[in-house]
Each structure stands twice: as structure tokens, then as C-alpha cells.
């Protein structure tokens, strides 16, 4: 697996991964969260969607430890919850997750596309890519 480079949008992101974890501000305004040597970054595209607009959620988990780490990662989409109403408007594959070993420096990427159905306001989305170790990232979202 190849490392994924950060894309264009800067995202305001706060994180919760497993137990309370260390947070740091990455270049481009992304907050990255680390637990057990794994660092997860979540991006929303667009950063501030409009009601009725498609929202792409991209999650990248990187192994920042010095050795391999076994993870179970979502395959077809991400687990998404929170108080932002999102509608899935496409069919997705039936697979849920896969187990893989991330070597030091390797990454695994997951993404999902939903349509925002909440009215304008401030919301929170919780995003999970890793099933094991369980990891959720909390993302504040402003809908216009």
C-alpha cells in the first residue's frame, strides 16, 4: 500500500480514537489523532457543504509505529453517525471489513459519499474506518 498525500481542502477536525488520545495539528489545517501508533486523518469535501449537496468523507489511517500493526478496516464505505442527517443515495458492495497488516509507514484509505439532508446549522459527524482497534473521529460540520 502506498502512503496517501494530503489533498487540497483544509478541515477543522477534532478526534476521539479509542481511549483519549493525543491530537496534533497537521499541515493544511487537518487535525490528526493517534492511538497505538496509528494515526487517522479525516477530510470532508466540501469542508462546509450545503443542504442537498453531496459530501465526500475520506479517512486515511497511517501506521506511525516502528513495527507492523494488524488492523481490521472498513471496505465499502465508512461507519458514520452523529447529528448531521446524511442520506446514502447509491448501492454499495456487501463486504463490511477486511483484516490487514500495516507495515511501518503504510496507510489504508476509506471513503464514503452521502447527501446532506440537514438544514443549515452546526453539526457533529463521527467517522469510523477502523473496526479493530476501534477508532472513531469526531468532526464538526457547518452546513450552509
- What pLDDT does residue 9 have? 29
Whether 125 and 137 have beta carbons less than 8 Å apart is answered as no
Question: What domains are there in the chain, each with its CATH number?
Answer: 22-143 (2.60.40.3880)
Name residue 111's beta-bridge partners.
58
How high is the mean pLDDT of the chain?
79
- What pLDDT does residue 107 have? 95
Rg (C-alpha) for the chain, rounded Å, is: 15
Q: How many CB atoms lie within 10 A of CB 15?
A: 24
Burial 78-90 (b: 16+ CB within 10 A, else e): bbbebebebeeee
- What pLDDT does residue 91 have? 78
- What pLDDT does residue 13 have? 29
- What pLDDT does residue 102 have? 95
- What pLDDT does residue 32 have? 65
- What pLDDT does residue 3 have? 35
For the chain, list residues with pLDDT below 50.
1-29
Amino acid at each position: 500500500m502506498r502512503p496517501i498525500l494530503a489533498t487540497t481542502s483544509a478541515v477543522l477536525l477534532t478526534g476521539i480514537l479509542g481511549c483519549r488520545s493525543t491530537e496534533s495539528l497537521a499541515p493544511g489545517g487537518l487535525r490528526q489523532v493517534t492511538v497505538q501508533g496509528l494515526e487517522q486523518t479525516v477530510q470532508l469535501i466540501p469542508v462546509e457543504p450545503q443542504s442537498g449537496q453531496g459530501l465526500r468523507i475520506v479517512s486515511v489511517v497511517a501506521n506511525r509505529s516502528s513495527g507492523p500493526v494488524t488492523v481490521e478496516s472498513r471496505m465499502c464505505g465508512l461507519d458514520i453517525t452523529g447529528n448531521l442527517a446524511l442520506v446514502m443515495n447509491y448501492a454499495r458492495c456487501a463486504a463490511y471489513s477486511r483484516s490487514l497488516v500495516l507495515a511501518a509507514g503504510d496507510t489504508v484509505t476509506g471513503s464514503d459519499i452521502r447527501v446532506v439532508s440537514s438544514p443549515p446549522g452546526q453539526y457533529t459527524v463521527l467517522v469510523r474506518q477502523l473496526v479493530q482497534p476501534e477508532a472513531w473521529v469526531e468532526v464538526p460540520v457547518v452546513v450552509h
